[in-house]
Structure 1
């Protein structure tokens, strides 16, 4: 029988009512014990954190990744219960921190706590354990019967059970009555070596969403305080240059050594900076063009690259390699 490690980090799924509102209070041991008869494998448990996921920071990603790495040889897969608000960021971070991962690492949570009636947490947890014991290697989110690649998940809904969508990538699989139906199969790593753990993160990253009327002085603030910035452009890559020339501000950031990543505010279909004149104002060889990758995945990728490499060129090259790999893995 396969063995799975259930790692608890808190979140709605583990929450109970209190005078201060919902707060994490159910341990992973309680979850494992309550649903042991419903699991198709042996499940051990370990507490990592007990936080609302709005309080998850990059140092917590390191704690989660380290537990997986330290226990890698003991288990066939790993399940992480996590709050939904930052789950997509954590999934993308683990994807980049556990290099050459050869086992399933699967995150789940719920919109309604396990402690309340009509919770979606029971099905999500059982589906996730089942997928971790039989699924493919890699990092995934299992939620509302759907399996989503860890670098492609975005939380779109605040209350519905169908909280997450897979952006610019098909669902990996669908789970119903413990039957896994695959829609696509991401490339699996070759060999059974232990993954390389990457923990050098630089959190000095700013996410800037452009809007009509934005004050260009924000760019000087970014230059003074951050090493990297992800700019969510308009549409296919639009950057204002008429009354306020933000293209010049971006070029100045680059000159000052800030790594610039350009993405779009649109969730689907990605960025094409060459399509319009407004996008061609930027030298694309000196920035990262995100293609169709979402911000939740770009944030940890940029933090990890900034922590690992010393020069702007190395950081840009590394992120571009990862984006290209993601883009060619599945072609629409």
Structure 2
């Protein structure tokens, strides 16, 4: 049997009613004791790293989790992390970039209902996660409702239902069928050499969702707050207005000041393409970085991670366009 480390960080899965609503109270050992079949899958050691509602998880906690995984993984065949669902996709993406190329599985899971509840989804998710962590997969994954999702492609799309997570713009890695994993046939990717553990990051990333009528001086306010990177969620394929209200010229000012600006789409599926319409091409001409089909969670955490290492806007643009963990599908040039 394989040796798997279980790390609890909090979230709904470990919550009970105390004080002002549900709050994490259960330890890693408590959760494992509620799912006894796990011990038939593997040898388990349990660790409670923190007990936090994932809404309160910040980039500092990503680093704490990443360092713990990095230190502990050599001693185990895989790791399962219990985490709140609300920011699980952000943590999964951040870990994907920080941990570097892995030769073992790191699985993140949680639940929509506490492990203490009779009809909770937690027991299935925990069991499925340990099956995945005991497999031959390598990398960071979200396991939820019987689905195995690339950690940098997961997104929470429902607030209450058990099928809360989907794989965005990328096939599911596989599915859990009872005690077996059914894998999807996915063409292997070629990753850059030298993607090693690095937990450096910059929190100075701002996400701006465009709405009709938004004033250009919003960019001045963001610049004055000291942000180094801005993610602009444009319309459709990534369009940015330039007529009656001109945001593109203001974006150009910030780019010339050395601020890295990425333009993405507000649409969940199929990604952006700034080359199709004038409202996208004009933004490209001003030096914005296209992000193609990355999720908002992956885009945000990747930009924080890149800004923690890159020494110039050109280096930021190069790293943002690099596919490290299948987080991005680059267009085929014809």
TM over 0.5: yes
Equivalent position of 2:213 in the other structure: 213
Q: What's the offset of the Cα at 1:232?
A: 0.4
Task: For 1:195 and 1:290, locate their aligned partners in 2 and report how far apart those are by CA, in whole Å.
Answer: 20
- More displaced stretch, 33-42 vs 92-101: 33-42
User: What is aligned with 2:16?
Assistant: 16
1:305 matched to which residue of 2? 306
Q: Is the 8 A contact 1:187 1:329 kept in 2?
A: no
Superimposed CA distance per residue, residues 49-101 of structure 1 (whole angstroms, 9 cap, x where no aligned partner):
11000000001000001011111210000111000000000000000001111
Please give the secondary structure, in 2, of the residue aligned with 1:279: helix
Q: Distance in 2 between matches of 1:148 and 1:254?
A: 35
Q: Which moved more, 1:8-17 or 1:28-37?
A: 28-37
Residue aligned with 1:72, SS: helix
Query: 1:185-264 maps to which residues of 2 (within 5 A)?
Result: 185=186, 187=188, 196-225=196-225, 226-264=227-265
Aligned to 1:38: 38
Is residue 95–residue 139 contact of structure 1 (8 Å, CA) maintained in 2?
yes
1:141-176 per-residue CA deviation (whole Å, 9 max, x = no partner) reads: 000001111111110100000001111111111102
How far 1:47 sits from its partner (Å)?
1.4
**Matched length:** 328
More divergent stretch after superposition (321-330 vs 125-134): 321-330
C-alpha distance in structure 2 between counterparts of 1:173 and 1:324, whole Å: 17
- 1:195-226 C-alpha deviation (Å, 9 max, x unpaired): 83212110000000000111211100111220
Q: Distance in 2 between matches of 1:188 and 1:273?
A: 24
**How far apart are 1:325 and its partner, in Å?**
5.7
Using the alignment, how far apart are the partners of 1:266 and 1:195 within structure 2?
Answer: 30
Q: Which residue of 2 aligns with 1:91?
A: 92
Counterpart Cα distance in 1 of 2:93 and 2:308: 16
- 1:26 and 2:19 aligned: no
1:101-250 equivalences in 2 (<5 Å): 101-185=102-186, 187=188, 196-225=196-225, 226-250=227-251
TM-score, length of structure 1 as denominator length:
0.94
- Cα pair distance change 1:49/1:178, threshold 3 Å: same
Is structure 2 residue 297 aligned with structure 1 residue 296? yes
TM-score, normalised via structure 2 length: 0.93
SS at match of 1:280: helix
Query: Could you say which residue in structure 2 is the equivalent of 1:69?
Result: 70
Give the Cα separation in 2 of the matches to 1:104 and 1:323: 16
For 2:278, the equivalent position in structure 1 comes to 277
User: Take 2:240 and 2:29, find their aligned partners in 1: how far apart are those partners?
Assistant: 50
- Distance, in Å, in 2 between the alignment partners of 1:290 and 1:79 is 30
Shift of 1:306: 0.5
**Equivalence for 1:58:** 59
Secondary structure at the aligned position of 2:48 is classed as strand
Q: Report deviation, 1:288.
A: 1.8
- Secondary structure of the residue aligned to 1:118 is coil
Q: CA deviation at 1:285?
A: 8.0
Q: Which runs of 5+ in 2 are unaligned?
A: none
Aligned in 2, Cα 1:328/1:300: closer, same or farther, shift over 3 Å? closer
Distance 1:327 1:298, change over 3 A: closer
Task: Please provide the CA RMSD for this pair.
Answer: 2.1
Deviation at 1:7, TM superposition (A): 0.7
**Cα 1:285–1:216 shift into 2, 3 Å:** closer
Distance 1:324 1:284 in 2: 28
Structure 1 match to 2:48: 47
State whether residues 274 and 284 of structure 2, in contact with CA within 8 Å, keep that contact through their aligned partners in structure 1: no
Contact 1:4/1:42 (8 A) holds in 2:
yes
Against the structure 1 CA distance between its residues 89 and 199, is the aligned structure 2 distance closer, same or farther, given a 3 Å change threshold? same
Q: Partners of 1:186 and 1:152 in 2: how far apart? A: 16
* Cα pair 1:36 1:43 within 8 Å, conserved: no
